[in-house]
Amino acid sequence: MKTQLQQFWNDEDGATAIEYGLIAGLIAVAIIGVLTALGTSLDGLFKTISDKIKGVESITPDS
């Protein structure tokens, strides 16, 4: 009984799994934050490009 209790006490597999889960969660939060920040700036970039393309379309004569 004593050895089983010692084995249970020294077993760190559960703690390691929890640590990996926390690391994965933090990485996911960081990725979401970066994509959110980039999404806003990319939206502005695409709108600028779209406006410039529309400006060029209005300048060119119809064929």
- How high is the pLDDT of residue 61? 61
Number of domains, the chain: 1
SS (H, E, C) the chain: CHHHHHHHHHCCHHHHHHHHHHHHHHHHHHHHHHHHHHHHHHHHHHHHHHHHHHHHHHHCCCC
- The pLDDT value given to residue 31: 95
Q: Is residue 10 part of a domain?
A: no
pTM above 0.75, yes or no: no
- pLDDT attached to residue 62: 60
Which residue ranges in the chain fall short of pLDDT 70?
A: 57-63
Residue 35 belongs to a domain: yes
In a domain? residue 53: yes
9 domain-assigned: no
Q: Which domain holds residue 47?
A: 31-58
pLDDT at 57: 64
